[in-house]
Amino acid sequence: MTFLQHLHMLARCWRYRLRSEAADLAELARLDLKGRTAIDIGANRGIYCYWLSKFVGPQGKVIGFELQPELHDALEGFKRRSSMRNVEVVMQGLSNKSGLIRIHRSHAGSTGACVIGETTASTTAEIPEGYGKLARLDDYCREHNIRNVAVIKCDVEGHERQVFEGAEETLRRHKPVLLFEAFNSLIEEDGLFDYLGSLGYAGYFFSEGKRYDAKQFKTAPFRRADCVHRNYFFTPTAEAQKLHPAAVRYSRSYPVSA
């Protein structure tokens, strides 16, 4: 990453913090994350990794998962330029199954890339062109002895339920705060909110400076008529009850791929 590219990324980070996703980053900043572990699934170029690395502090750890090799390399470059020593970048995606899967994207490094279809077993160490490696977060945490998981951010273009199914043990054990992007249609089709509710989670989101219960996802305003996705926070139910009345008003929060 060149000096100018690094400056551009820092400018994007501050744009997210102060405008694009100000409410969500402000909510993360107020959590007690110092010395704990944050996981960024679908880390892209690293905007959330950048802020999470500051929120967890030098004694904490951020693990960023990125399936696309081009974005993985860009994130590694941003990490080095920004001296994010507490960030580990992993070139794989997460799901409820392990294996190889085809990446559907319009171009290399596409922010709208997604995975569709069944996983296939990996018979070689090399990953075929156009494919990516998937794993279950539970398996990764067990194999790498990951502890004290405080927050999981997830932006995987409609694959959220599969990711959380593969992380069920981690959610039950650590009870991390979840921040994820979701499409309205998939909330109902996949039963995403109901699934998280069965694990003891309740959700909320911010829209135009106000906080809403996740159940209001159909009626709360979007920033434009054709926008059908937004970011949601889900927290363990007991904590969610304590947080429920929201008197604080934040800046507008628009879901933008990081």
Record the tokens describing residue 110, joined without a space: 């596409």
Q: pTM of the entire structure?
A: 0.87
| Cβ-Cβ contacts under 8 Å for 52 (sequence gap 6 or more) | 28, 33, 38, 40, 62, 151, 153
Give tens-digit pLDDT for 96-123: 999 887 776 655 555 555 556 555 655 4
CB-CB contact of 5 with 234 (8 Å) = no
Compute the residue count for the chain. 258
d(CA 137, CA 150): 14
Using one digit for the tens of pLDDT, what is the confidence trace for 50-108? Answer: 999 999 999 999 999 999 888 999 999 999 999 999 999 999 999 999 988 777 665 55
Q: What is the pLDDT of residues 1-25, one digit of tens each?
A: 899 999 999 999 999 999 989 999 9
Domains of the chain: 3-243 (3.40.50.150)
Q: Are strands 177-183 and 229-236 parallel, antiparallel or unpaired?
A: antiparallel
Show Cβ contacts of residue 233 under 8 Å, excluding neighbours closer than 6 positions.
Answer: 24, 27, 177, 178, 179, 203, 204, 205
Alpha helices, DSSP H, located in 60-121: 69-81
- Please determine, for residue 136, whether its predicted confidence score (pLDDT) is greater than 60: yes
**Percent of the chain residues topping a pLDDT of 90:** 64
Which of 74-83, 122-131, 173-182, 228-237 is predicted with the least confidence, judged by mean pLDDT?
A: 122-131
